[in-house]
Chains A and B, each alone.
Chain A
Amino acid sequence: MYAIDLKGIKKVYKGGVEALKGISLKVQEGDFYALLGPNGAGKSTTIGIISSLVNKSAGQVTVFGFDLDNQLEQAKSQIGLVPQEFNFNQFEPPLQILVNQAGYYGIKRKEAYIRAEKYLKQLDLWEKRDEPARELSGGMKRRLMIARALMHEPRLLILDEPTAGVDIEVRRSMWEFLQKLNAQGVTIILTTHYLEEAEMLCRNIGIIDKGCLVEDTSMKSLLARLDSEIFILDVDPLTHLPSSKSFKITQSDENTLEIELSKQLSLNKVFEELTAQGVRVNSLRNKANRLEELFLELVEKGSINDK
């Protein structure tokens, strides 16, 4: 079954701005799906339409088989939404925010308090349960929104840039939490600007650019399209620029080389040739996130095609 099935979704805002130009997209139940795109590409509009915060101009949306036009409430019950911006009452304490939210989904107060305790503890917010939400740190506010979205135990969790502005430690703990949720069967759709995050968490990926879906594939097949990778090598001070017929070498400074290596070649080849030329390699790292390169390539291709 598809967690979401979008058919020909269009959105034209007042003033004629066409945010979505007929997007069709299917996300399988149980998937961990990344929705990427530059700012203003239409990601948040897509999420807004799925969660019924934005009225679509055309097209059809079904959530676990429930049509958004005819079975709105059943469709809404399946979704937990973590929006990009903090959208809870800043004056209410986390415990009340969660209990109220559960109530909107028809969960009795007694049960709501039990669930609120569970999720506040899982997300390290229990100690802050009675403090006004505005006094929480940025990371805590993000986690509070995740806890709130989980109160009715949705089958589909949509996260719009959930780790924006949080430190690495919190980000990693959130990743771990989301992976556990996904392992329990919750379908997750994630938008993020941290492409490393998408690469690490998601099995499938869609890229939206200028209101169109320019890519919808598995993470593996997308990454397999990269035919070369760039590595940065920290080396002992260079006396001469080494050369190679197998790979491209550029010197960044006296201690740094950049190697562009075809996927057909192994790193052993690099070490062999450099060692033969008297270059000692002290450490090595990827120049950029691989997905980031592809993402830029796809988006730039779209821009060129537009011109």
Chain B
Amino acid sequence: MINSNYAIALKSIWIKEINRFLRIWIQTLVPPAITMTLYFVIFGNLIGKRIGEMGGFDYMSFIVPGLIMMSVITNSYSNVASSFFSAKFQRNVEELLVAPVPNYIIIWGYIGGGVARGLMVGFIVTCVSLFFVDLQIFNIFVLLLSVLCTSILFSIGGLLNAIFARTFDDISIIPTFVLTPLTYLGGVFYSISLLPDFWQGVSHFNPVFYMINAFRYGFLGIADVSLVWSFSIIGLFIVVLYSIVALLLKKGIGTRS
């Protein structure tokens, strides 16, 4: 059972993190809504009409889950990466390091902030999508579980990035050169069954593919790979990244002298 002092500490980090992104809502909550509206208009409405159906659904319905997931991934990641790095940069991470807070509370505190922003942005983008498509939900449990796990995974990824980062450039390199390509190649805009066999095989090494796959199943009931496999991969990545972050914090790499 969690020590009551730790529970208060965890809640404090959550409140601080949520207040942080709400305080700068114009930078954190509005841009994804605008960007996704453009995606819906251009890819869904204008180009999508010419593409026709994909996976048995009109193109707009097909890409909506992927676009929502893309927002969740980007925002969960960047929330934790920028918040933790900024705390390192301003040295206010020391407030946590000198306090009797175990590392796992710090990790879950920051994950909580990333998940809160990821889910909030996901909800906003979902609301925006309702202007363009009649959204159907095939399995709400799979949908919520996949978005939650994805948000947790990329929040840990953001934390890992921030621990290693020494400059603000370091927290934009991974999203630009790793995260964005993985997301675009993870099947947001297409079913991987359209790809040649070789590239289908390559896509299976992309973790984002499994997340979008499970999330799309929750909405549409269609999947390129089994859900058990998808959730196993996501779970595995969470465990591996969490272990690395916990080890780094324990050794003080990137946080202590």
Contacts and interface: CB of A to CB of B under 8 A. Distances in A.
Interface in A67-85: 72-74, 76-77, 79, 81, 83, 85
Contacts, number: 87
Given A55-B252, A55-B256, A96-B19, A105 B100 contact: yes
Interface stretch (A87-95, A118-126, A177-185, A230-238): A87-95
B6 interface: yes
B26 interface: no
B49 interface: no
A102 B100 CA distance: 11
B92 A89 contact: yes
A81 B4 contact: no
Contact of A87 (B12, B23, B95): B95
Given A74-B100, A96-B19, A100-B15, A53 B257 contact: yes
Contacts of B99: 76, 101, 104-105, 152
A40 interface: no
A81 B98 contact: yes
Question: By CB atoms of chain B within 10 A, which of A74, A92, A105 has the most?
Answer: A105
A13 B3 CA distance: 35
A108 interface: yes
A170 to B, nearest CB: 23
Interface residues of A, number: 37
A100 to B, nearest CB: 5
Contact of A100 (B12, B98, B252): B12
Interface string B13-33: 101100100010000000000
A87 B257 contact: no
21 contacts: A52-B98, A52-B256, A55-B252, A77-B100, A81-B98, A83-B91, A87-B91, A87-B92, A88-B92, A92-B16, A99-B12, A102-B12, A103-B13, A104-B12, A104-B95, A105-B99, A105-B100, A106-B6, A106-B8, A106-B9, A108-B8
